[in-house]
Amino acid sequence: MHNKELDQTLVLIKPDALKNSLTGYVLSQLSEFHTGLRFAGTKVVNVSRMLAEEHYAEHRGKVFYPSLIEYIRGYLHYPGKPEKQRVIAIVYQGPNAVDKVREIVGPTNPHLAREQKPGCIRSLGTLVPLTDDKGEVVGERMDNLIHASATPAEAEREIKLWFRPADIPPYMRIYTTRQSGGFFYYKDDKLLTAHEPGSVCLLAPGDVTWESDLNALELISRKQPAPCTLRTVAAKYLVNEKGED
Ligand code: GTP
Ligand code: MG
């Protein structure tokens, strides 16, 4: 039986919200008092290119995609200040978590948010013109303060992308986990099962992982078709690893 108390959604407090000291405001808006939702996991993340590209994979190729990647990585709000380039990732848990958070967050476009839902979180966001080499306006960037999963399926994909099982207390986890039986290393976009100089250990025997991650790694290591790419899995296990671009 589906236990609605355990529904989950992913929220990212983006660099523009952090720069404008809106973290407390966002947390208040999403507090248990207002939403009935609780924290199941939180972390401060310096967003690597790999993680940003996986998170926004559906927008690859669009005019605003390059600026979206730079935005979520904090490059636009904290240029040249890597020590400030971060987002706060939060898993909220409770009945109808996805819909409740999206309701308070409001429409994607901050101008529409102000028109259609004054008072929603994104009504405090802004639009930034995007220009080409000649200075012509070719589009706009939506600095909309926070991200929130749009559907339960998206929440599952995103929570598994940003969080390892150990980041979420055992009784709050809803996605199936499995213990790794072997070593998995990552180097230059390749998966290795034995250490090589310069490789990073993604998983060691005994590590608890999302079952879907482990299934994918096993298929990839056998060179069989997998339901997701190596980068999708590696991006999370490399979160906050020094040296990750
Ligand atoms: P998120 O919660 O951030 O995922 O927003 P969303 O679900 O309301 O929108 P979506 O997932 O479609 O887009 C992700 C992000 O891409 C948005 O937050 C915007 O910053 C940006 N974006 C999406 N659509 C557009 C668009 O048509 N134009 C521009 N300039 N940016 C867009
Ligand atoms: Mg979205």
pLDDT digits (tens, 9 = 90+) for 209-232: 999 999 999 999 999 999 999 999
Average pLDDT of the segment spanning 182-202: 95
Provide the residue ranges of all domains of the chain, joining segments of one domain with +.
Answer: 4-166, 177-237
Q: Which amino acid is at 237?
A: Y
pLDDT band at 243 (very low <50, low <70, confident <90, very high): low
**For residue 164, is pLDDT > 90?**
yes
C-alpha Rg value of the chain to the nearest Å: 19
List, in order, residues 6 or more apart from 195 with CB less than 8 Å away.
Answer: 183, 185, 201
For domain 4-166, give its CATH number from 3.30.70.141, 3.40.50.300, 3.20.20.70, 3.20.20.10: 3.30.70.141
Name the closest ligand to CA 108: 1
Instruction: Summarize pLDDT for 119-129 with one digit per residue, the tens.
Output: 999 999 999 99
pLDDT tops 90 at residue 131: no
Count of residues for the chain?
245
Q: Does 65 sit in the ligand 1 pocket, CB within 6 Å?
A: no
Please say whether the beta carbons of 113 and 107 come within 8 A.
Answer: yes
d(CA 42, CA 11): 9
**pLDDT digit string (tens) for 12-60?**
999 999 999 999 999 999 999 999 999 999 999 999 999 999 999 999 9
Average pLDDT score over residue span 158-169: 97
4 close to ligand 1 (CB < 6 Angstrom): no
Q: How many whole angstroms from 148 Cα to the centroid of ligand 2?
A: 7
Measured from the Cα of 140, ligand 1's closest atom is: 30
CB of residue 108 inside a 6 A radius of ligand 1: yes
